[in-house]
Structure 1
Amino acid sequence: MVVAGLASLLSAASFGQSVDPSLLGGLSYRLVGPFRAGRCLACTGVPGNPDKFYFGAVGGGIWVSENAGLTWTPIFDQMHAASIGAIAVAPSKPEVVYVGSGEADMRSDIQQGDGMYKSTDGGATWAHIGLEDTRQIGKILVDPQNENVLYVAALGHQFGPNEERGVFKSVDGGATWTKSLYLNADTGAIDMVMDPTDHNTLIASMWQTRRPPWEVYPPSSGPGSGLYKSTDAGKTWSKITGHGLPGAFGHVGLSISNANPNRVYAVVDTNRKTGGGVFVSEDKGANWTLATADERLWGRGWYFGGITADPKDADAVYVMNTGMYRSTDGGKTFLPIKGAPGGDDYHTLWINPSDPKRMISATDQGTIVSIDGGKTWSSWWNQPTGQFYHVIADNRFPYWVAGAQQDSGAMAVPSRSNHDHISMRDWRPMSVGGESGTIAADRLHPGTLLDDGGTIERLDDGWHKSVDPTKGKPGGPWRKAWTLPIAASPVDPKVFYTSRQSVFRSGDSGNSWQIISPDLTRQTHTTPTNLDGPTAADIDPAPHHGVVFWLAPSPKKRGTLWAGTDDGLIWLTRDDGKHWENVTPSQLTPWSTVGIIDASHFDADTAYAAIDRHRLDDNKPYIYRTRDGGKHWDLITTGLPSGEFVNVVREDPVRRGLLYAGTDWGVFVSFDDGANWQPLQLNLPHASMRDLVIAGNDLVVGTHGRAIWILDDLSPLRQISTSTRSTTLLAPSPAVVFIRGPGFDDGTPLPIEEPRGENPPYGAMIDYVLAEPAHLVTVRVTDAHGKEVGKASSSDKPRPPDPSRLTIAPYWVRPGSTLSTGPGAHRFVWNFGEQMAPGDYEVALTVDGKVYKQRLKLLADPRQKR
């Protein structure tokens, strides 16, 4: 909808107590990386186009390469789903691409999708084509002769029963779907193969599995698991029983040989120490023989299971596991051809049917391409699809951001590089944090970080030591979860807190720890109703399983600490752990995860809690607010999408009532203390938003699939409101005159194809609002003596881009170089150069002859020696 004037829009918006979206238009996020890739299950090449490949990250959408993996471009950012489980190119019409959203690897940390997508132009545009409730999709098969006939293997809900699971078929390109193979609400489909000489013959792998809300390693496998075969294009199916297969099994990966269509390979997981392995059928699945029981090939088969037959050689077959293994004798013996170091944990391999030397593999650390039969591979350091759990910002200048990346370990990066861009030269691997830990910064010792396991590291010289908080402490055995908290006291820089089922405190910057609470988790539980029989029976005999999942010390009062558990309790101490009060909202049931509590910066009795219930198969958003120390809690979710559970809530430390929230799909903002929410997505791609941190004037976003982004200068959000209706020049934040100005780089610059993040704009950010379209907008900057030192006009011709600084990733280009005349909010960056003196200045905005003025302060670089 096009609106003629901002005033009318704002007037309508004020009734809903939301700020009009056009007032956010001047803001944009910037990607800082890292470009060290995250987990991927889905990948494919394009028959007839040997250099073109696609992959789908489990949390980062769809990407395409036109140069055999040298560079990758995102092509799915406008779609709602970020987690991709399967992708298929139609052999008869390669511009038709089908995508199944939702990874189907059944990790405890698993992201879901919302059904099927289709492109008819090679990924330039996409349409959602149904199966919304499948959640996790493992495989797509497209009829080689008809791009409109396809089959989808849907695993279904990972934490509960649902009807939309099994094998689905469409004969009209996804316009309509029929259930081809359905067993029950607890069993889904994980893999499929099609006979290359008879497209009516298919074999499907069905898997009954479920995740409980507590931490377990392998998921359960129920009696619904099995192999099924159809010879009439999915109209009817018969179960393949016995005939050489184990009596009971779980996840089965399948591949059929194009060189010998009678031969079918299977990797069978039995969830036991014996019985699994690589099996071979020489009669299209009727009978099977165990080729090898080598546990390297089927160990952790619930997570792996990828197997790919060479399209030209019937005896050559590849198996994906912690290494990539190849057999040249029909599966009897295997040798590793790729493994750690280099991105261990491999899931999928696609081989070009015309040229088997060209292949693509999806791994826990991204996607790699080979054009020489696996001798060499492209890099996975060119995909910003890292999965972060939490992020922190320290108090250095420029501030550093650090976080733990799944499968790759923790890394830290300055928010502003001394180089022209942020690149791999700036990112620093760390020992703290591991691949899933939480990190805290030591404010007394800049560059020193601590993690929840007790590791302390100084980034400046690599020094580190480990102090296990639980060592020698009574009360064990100590329970853990994949992520545990560590929190730095905002009022005492020597004090840190961490937890297991109890809370630990350090008063000496993490060098020693003391227990300050009893076991704060629930002492008794009932079995959640979302579990099936096998999962409910697969429970550790210990009486309870929970941990203290989050800790939030008050910025207002020393010794006040909030604690939340992953089994649904909230506690408060006001005396540093001497006494604890159970302040759990009455609405919370067991196994509601208290994901993040944020203690207010303005009032010690106010706190906000993000509650995650998706492991109970409940995706509704839950944010609770208390203003009386936990005696009463209000649910504050109006405006949040009904199907997006919340990972994080944060309060702005400057403007009271300004809140930020991250859901499993996007970022939201509230200007009225949570009474109403609205999107703050802007240019941010959809992803699971796991953490939000306010660093000075910036918002740092830790995503679980698209790395780390920063929204620079929140001052507009701290000034606008529903009553902002007229043309306005907002008060600018102080700007720093850096020692090194824009464009600085030392040594040889990076090649243009090397991935890079973006520094914040150099200069002063000038934000203004236009109530209606203007003919001419100018900005004039004067010093304390009234001398003009800068001027810009909307009539100025934009400077052509500098070819030496162009990147091949167009989504990194940000606005701010020209003055805009359209209605809404805009940001203009005054690039004042290196020689501008720190001091007081005045900014004058002229809109069609009317002048608006604000003060501007320029600050000296704090690093500059005086």
Structure 2
Amino acid sequence: MLALLLAACAAPQQREADEYAQEREREGRGGSAAEQVREERNEQSERMSGALERAQLFAARRLPGDAQELQAERWFAAEKRMREMPHHVPGRRGFAAAGESLKAAPHWQWLGPANATGRTRTLEFDPRNADVLYAGGVSGGVWKSTDAGASWLPLSDDAVNLNIGALAIDPERPDTLYAGTGELYRNSGMPWSPMSGSGILKSIDGGVSWSPLLATQNAHFRYVSDIVFSPRDSRRLYAASNSGIWRSRDGGASFERLLGPADAQDLARYEGCTDLAIRHDREQDWLLATCASRSMADRYWLPGTVTPIACGGPCPAAIFLNTDAGNDGQWRTVLSEAGQGRTQIDIHRADTRVVYAVAASIAPGFDRNGDGAGDYDNGLHALWRSDDGGETWQAQLRNDSADLLSASLFQFHFAVKPSACGDNSPADFYAAGWYNNAIAADPLDADTVWVGGMTLFRSVDGGRRFGLASYYLANDDSYVHPDQHRIRFDPRYDGSSNQRLFATHDGGVSISDNARAPLGYGDAALCRALPGERVRWRDASRGMGTTQFYAGAVFPDGSGYFGGTQDNGTWLGRDGAGPYAWRHILGGDGGFAAVDPGNTQVLYASSQYTALAKSLNGGITFDDANRGLNDQTLFIMPYLIDPNAPQRLYAGGTRLWRSDDGAASWRAASTRMGGSAFDNRTSAIAVASGNANRMLVGNRRGIHRSNAALASNGTTVWPSVAPRDGWVSRLAFDPNDSAVAYATYSTFGGIHVWKSTDAGASWQPLDGSGEGSLPDVPVHAIAINPRNTQELYLGTDLGLFVSLDGGAHWAVENSGYANVITEDLKLVAPAGAPVQLFAFTYGRGVWRVALGEFDGQADYRIDTRIAGMWWNPQQDGHGLMIEPVVIDGVVHVVASWFVYQDGEPYWLIGVGRADGDTVRVPVTASRGANFPPDFRAADVQRIPWGELELRFASPRSATLRWNSSQPGFGSGELALESLVATAAPADDPPGAALRTCHSGNWFQPAQSGHGFFLHVFGSGEQRQLVAVWYVFDRGKPLFLVGAGPIDGDSATMTLGITRGPDFPPDYRIADLQRQPWGTATFRFTGADTAQVSWTPSLAGFAPGRLDLQRLTAQLGRSCN
């Protein structure tokens, strides 16, 4: 209801903002169609020339040394280290224990923009209600709409990765969702990029919480492009990733690779597999899959992209078919042609024999303009149709078609023939079919097929001829944001009363309610839509805050904020307008931003390279502000206002540049800082507050300094030092001491934070120590609290880190903040108000928190370290055995409480799903059976008892709450401590036969109903095995407890019985009676097999022996 109210209240603001943005775009492009074409071509030219360098910078600033590839394991290791770190608890002015997280009040405030959405790759419908939508934002996480796209709410801000490339909803269990992370199509040709993934995430509560599937936490699932389910068993699912096609038979708990195309040297043939489609009308899993590589002409191709020697470049893409994928059927290549690139497929919903496929080209292809060179590299290769479920294919359309519009499925429609729009400029055939490529068959008409490239197209004759269904340059309802990624029909689509079609793209989600409306064809449709009836579109991205910011600026009082975004220009927001009414103030790829602290009507914004602009009216209009600024810069050029004099600005290329007249003119302020190579271009600049002569400039080669910056000119050489190898990402002076400075590095493989106490002459590492040391993770920004300069904040690839002691120790800051790449941080300190921290993120917009108002309480996030025996020291004699396990790929906890009822042993056992710091375990009591060898499983009576809630404050402390429906128990609460913690694998001596991984729950399958909790504890030669045998004696529950030293593959121990006390809160330790029972020997014969033999000393029990099998394996500690 709140979301609906917010949407309704914001609707007028949304329209106003959208109209303003469109007006700004019209102003920028000019009025006539010819002028629009020329303007758009210029913008595209800039994008094309800069895209490679942007991709190069994204990868290069993270790559250590001369590495051409960065192993994904570096990022996984950093993420693992982050989970083990302390967390920031500002209310305490200190840190929480290792592994804790925050629930702070107030939480971070997301500021927007809610009316500017970033790239959205995928869209899915809840099978129970088609108005409930789930969308995946690239670098923005998973989003949910309950009103068919009218409003959206984020679901995965605290997930381990927000780069969503695929989504799937279990059709049998619709509250179970799978999210594939990583975006193969924007991966810069490198194994690491900002769009890298962390495998597959799973939610079993409709997206409220997410857990990583542990089987996918590896480099094979760095980019997950698609996920589909078997129509016969939804626990069997298939995933397309960068390493092939994978199958899980158990809901994601484990995966096996079915297809990994390789060459004769067993090297990968493709960058990855990109699409899956499965027929729903077959008894076996009839699965189609596509695998491909990008063209070397792609704007994100870099050296290192998969180009097998056998192919002399990227290998032609292929469609593979397996008609029995669920039972290890054989894969066949059913379609692969020379020049075939990324291929997308769709099976017709009603007639599954009909399958469509469309492919981009990795070859120049047809020479359309007659200049002797092909014009379709990354454009259309071909579109095919199959009428036998994908066994055979017929080409319907190729790039040499006489119909120019149909051949331009992956190109800008207005650029392939400018004369159709009144422009005599040469044609421009730029395309991006590796990046934007989508296809969908009309569910009711097998001859109607839609294709998405830059824009949207529809064919009604089986794919032979296409009409244009959306227009990028339009100022009316035929407009759809360019770069299409997914086309989906409403599940209720009937072709008449419901003609609803959804498209996802770089601007979010669009909807058409008349998908069968007439279209224009041929050259006449290249420039504008038909008058009157046409396919009409509306935005359906409201509130989906997935904007990717590079950098930002904040007004001195914190009431205004703006910054540059990827592909979507510069946006400005204000407190008074709210998140739905941000204004688009400058086009292109946005860049750095600055505001005059004395006059907030004076704004500076930029796009690519030296394209700096200035506004004197708060962003209503801008003029160029780069006269004389002539240099080679990074794609996003750093610049800033001197805090000592707002008319003075600095910008960086291969040298430093200064303006003393508010950017009206520029002149060199240093000689080249190392030469003209890419590594010498400026990446960071800082000016000391209170000392305008003191400056620092950073690049890949080092940190350059000056104590006489105002006198510096184009011949001045600045001395430099290099604390380490790598890119300097940010420089900052202490706001109260110009001798103290900080530097951060975005390059893996070294110290990421450095401090200087002599204005940059020398540097000391500041990555912290012990549990408070930073992970090896790229750091992009640093901010220093001006009211307490010991308080430091870092923006990284994994979100925010905080130090309260000047960098001696660091902690994770996650009190309601998204786990997202944080590119820029700004602090403002308004008089009489708390210091405010602003974070500009790459994928989740802009955030703010008032530092002085934090009030946090720590919540532990359950992990492996809770395994073992727990007790309350004041109630010795009873306790719990706790074991974290993985079920269906999600962390659960097995808990058994060994306690008493009316003085007799009593045990409860169950399993529950972990949720942050808490697990709720439904437990049962048991009775009825006898002690072995007279045990019969049929005699066991299981009695639902109630629920245990375990809330962990740390790996060593917790609170137990219980609530029982059985008479005589009721509810209560008890503080717990870890008594015996399971050892870590590192505690095993070399060559150990009985290892830490043997810890877990063991049983004899023929005697289900009793079993053993076994845990290895201690280290080296001092290791012991503790055992709790939960069993029965003459129909009553009994538990035996003991511990003994490990000797080779065995451990022998004395077991004991305890009796006497009552159930808490009536438990009295004075009532406890201990009695030796006998001895037991455990011998482990394999990873999952063991034997136990026992010799009782207490009358009434017989000796015996059992073969045991493992029932559970502890989280992350399998012996296999």
* Displacement after TM superposition at 1:646 (Å): 1.9
The verdict on how the C-alpha distance between 1:125 and 1:19 changes in structure 2, with shifts beyond 3 A counting, is closer
Equivalent residue runs for 1:652-671 within 5 Å = 652-671=785-804
* Displacement after TM superposition at 1:330 (Å): 1.9
* Displacement after TM superposition at 1:189 (Å): 1.9
Match of 1:135 among 222, 236, 239: 222
Answering whether residue 549 of structure 2 is matched by residue 388 of structure 1, we say yes
The verdict on how the C-alpha distance between 1:15 and 1:360 changes in structure 2, with shifts beyond 3 A counting, is closer
* Displacement after TM superposition at 1:171 (Å): 0.8
Report SS of the residue matched to 1:587: coil
What whole-Å deviation, never above 9, does each CA across 1:815-843 have from its counterpart, x for those lacking one?
A: xxxxxxxxxxxxxxxxxxxxxxxxxxxxx
Q: 2:228, 2:619 → 1: CA distance?
A: 52
Superposed CA RMSD in Å reads 3.4
* Displacement after TM superposition at 1:706 (Å): 1.7
Report SS of the residue matched to 1:297: coil
Report SS of the residue matched to 1:559: strand
Structure 2 counterpart of 1:328, one-letter code = V
Q: 1:249, 1:586 → 2: CA distance?
A: 48
* Displacement after TM superposition at 1:486 (Å): 1.4
- Give the corresponding residue for 2:654: 501
The verdict on how the C-alpha distance between 1:490 and 1:195 changes in structure 2, with shifts beyond 3 A counting, is same
The verdict on how the C-alpha distance between 1:90 and 1:546 changes in structure 2, with shifts beyond 3 A counting, is farther
The verdict on how the C-alpha distance between 1:148 and 1:459 changes in structure 2, with shifts beyond 3 A counting, is farther
Q: Which has the higher mean CA deviation after the structures are superposed, 65-74 or 257-266?
A: 257-266
Residues 436 and 482 in structure 1, CA contact (< 8 A), matched pair in contact too = no
Q: 1:701, 1:16 → 2: CA distance?
A: 21
* Displacement after TM superposition at 1:178 (Å): 0.6
Match of 1:317 among 449, 454, 459: 449
The verdict on how the C-alpha distance between 1:652 and 1:304 changes in structure 2, with shifts beyond 3 A counting, is same
Report SS of the residue matched to 2:285: strand
The verdict on how the C-alpha distance between 1:365 and 1:145 changes in structure 2, with shifts beyond 3 A counting, is same
Residues 628 and 665 in structure 2, CA contact (< 8 A), matched pair in contact too = no
- Give the corresponding residue for 1:274: 376
The verdict on how the C-alpha distance between 1:651 and 1:434 changes in structure 2, with shifts beyond 3 A counting, is farther
Answering whether residue 469 of structure 2 is matched by residue 337 of structure 1, we say yes
Q: 2:295, 2:761 → 1: CA distance?
A: 34
Greater C-alpha Rg? 2
Q: Where does the alignment leave 5 or more consecutive residues of structure 2 unmatched?
A: 1-87, 309-313, 365-374, 400-406, 412-430, 473-478, 516-534, 830-834, 856-1120
* Displacement after TM superposition at 1:406 (Å): 2.7
Structure 1 counterpart of 2:118, one-letter code = G
* Displacement after TM superposition at 1:228 (Å): 4.6
Residues 501 and 512 in structure 2, CA contact (< 8 A), matched pair in contact too = yes
- Give the corresponding residue for 1:240: 333
Answering whether residue 347 of structure 2 is matched by residue 256 of structure 1, we say yes
Report SS of the residue matched to 2:410: helix
- Give the corresponding residue for 1:361: 503
Q: 1:371, 1:83 → 2: CA distance?
A: 29
The verdict on how the C-alpha distance between 1:461 and 1:389 changes in structure 2, with shifts beyond 3 A counting, is closer
Q: 1:91, 1:624 → 2: CA distance?
A: 51
* Displacement after TM superposition at 1:586 (Å): 4.7
The verdict on how the C-alpha distance between 1:215 and 1:383 changes in structure 2, with shifts beyond 3 A counting, is closer
Q: 2:95, 2:207 → 1: CA distance?
A: 37
Of the two structures, which has the highest relative contact order with CA contacts closer than 8 Å and spacing of 6 or more? 1
- Give the corresponding residue for 1:295: 408
* Displacement after TM superposition at 1:321 (Å): 2.0
Residues 469 and 504 in structure 1, CA contact (< 8 A), matched pair in contact too = no
Q: 2:854, 2:208 → 1: CA distance?
A: 34
* Displacement after TM superposition at 1:319 (Å): 1.6
Q: 2:329, 2:614 → 1: CA distance?
A: 60
Answering whether residue 236 of structure 2 is matched by residue 82 of structure 1, we say no
Q: 2:122, 2:751 → 1: CA distance?
A: 29
What whole-Å deviation, never above 9, does each CA across 1:22-79 have from its counterpart, x for those lacking one?
A: 9994442212211022211121123352212110111222111222111222222332
Residues 633 and 681 in structure 2, CA contact (< 8 A), matched pair in contact too = yes
- Give the corresponding residue for 2:111: 32
Q: Where does the alignment leave 5 or more consecutive residues of structure 1 unmatched?
A: 1-8, 156-164, 524-542, 718-866
Report SS of the residue matched to 1:176: coil
Residues 120 and 135 in structure 2, CA contact (< 8 A), matched pair in contact too = yes
Match of 1:176 among 239, 254, 278: 254
Match of 2:846 among 693, 699, 708: 708
The verdict on how the C-alpha distance between 1:669 and 1:398 changes in structure 2, with shifts beyond 3 A counting, is closer
Structure 2 counterpart of 1:309, one-letter code = A
* Displacement after TM superposition at 1:450 (Å): 1.3
- Give the corresponding residue for 1:118: 202
Answering whether residue 500 of structure 2 is matched by residue 408 of structure 1, we say no
The verdict on how the C-alpha distance between 1:573 and 1:271 changes in structure 2, with shifts beyond 3 A counting, is farther
* Displacement after TM superposition at 1:221 (Å): 5.7
Residues 341 and 381 in structure 2, CA contact (< 8 A), matched pair in contact too = no
Answering whether residue 272 of structure 2 is matched by residue 188 of structure 1, we say yes
Answering whether residue 255 of structure 2 is matched by residue 166 of structure 1, we say no
- Give the corresponding residue for 1:598: 732
The verdict on how the C-alpha distance between 1:251 and 1:687 changes in structure 2, with shifts beyond 3 A counting, is same
Residues 54 and 62 in structure 1, CA contact (< 8 A), matched pair in contact too = yes
Q: 1:177, 1:640 → 2: CA distance?
A: 34
Residues 469 and 514 in structure 1, CA contact (< 8 A), matched pair in contact too = no
* Displacement after TM superposition at 1:512 (Å): 0.3
Residues 102 and 816 in structure 2, CA contact (< 8 A), matched pair in contact too = no
* Displacement after TM superposition at 1:494 (Å): 1.4
* Displacement after TM superposition at 1:690 (Å): 1.5
* Displacement after TM superposition at 1:87 (Å): 0.2
- Give the corresponding residue for 1:536: none
Report SS of the residue matched to 1:200: coil
Structure 1 counterpart of 2:318, one-letter code = L
What whole-Å deviation, never above 9, does each CA across 1:688-725 have from its counterpart, x for those lacking one?
A: 212110011110111222221111243779xxxxxxxx
* Displacement after TM superposition at 1:167 (Å): 1.7
- Normalising by structure 2, we get a TM-score of 0.54
What whole-Å deviation, never above 9, does each CA across 1:289-326 have from its counterpart, x for those lacking one?
A: 26132234262112112222223222222222221222
The verdict on how the C-alpha distance between 1:568 and 1:306 changes in structure 2, with shifts beyond 3 A counting, is farther
Q: 1:701, 1:583 → 2: CA distance?
A: 30
Q: 1:670, 1:211 → 2: CA distance?
A: 45
- Give the corresponding residue for 1:513: 666
Equivalent residue runs for 1:436-585 within 5 Å = 436-452=590-606, 453-460=611-618, 462-470=620-628, 473=630, 478-520=631-673, 544=678, 547-565=681-699, 567-576=700-709, 577-578=712-713, 579-581=716-718, 583-585=720-722
Q: Which has the higher mean CA deviation after the structures are superposed, 110-119 or 20-29?
A: 20-29
Match of 1:634 among 753, 765, 784: 765
- Give the corresponding residue for 1:763: none
Residues 139 and 546 in structure 2, CA contact (< 8 A), matched pair in contact too = yes
Structure 1 counterpart of 2:601, one-letter code = G
Residues 457 and 470 in structure 2, CA contact (< 8 A), matched pair in contact too = yes
Answering whether residue 589 of structure 2 is matched by residue 435 of structure 1, we say yes
Q: 1:637, 1:239 → 2: CA distance?
A: 54
Q: 2:325, 2:721 → 1: CA distance?
A: 54
Answering whether residue 265 of structure 2 is matched by residue 265 of structure 1, we say no
Q: 2:783, 2:619 → 1: CA distance?
A: 33
The verdict on how the C-alpha distance between 1:23 and 1:178 changes in structure 2, with shifts beyond 3 A counting, is closer
The verdict on how the C-alpha distance between 1:266 and 1:399 changes in structure 2, with shifts beyond 3 A counting, is same
Equivalent residue runs for 1:844-855 within 5 Å = none
Report SS of the residue matched to 1:338: coil
Q: 1:125, 1:622 → 2: CA distance?
A: 31
* Displacement after TM superposition at 1:593 (Å): 2.9
Q: Which has the higher mean CA deviation after the structures are superposed, 670-679 or 625-634?
A: 625-634
Structure 2 counterpart of 1:450, one-letter code = Y
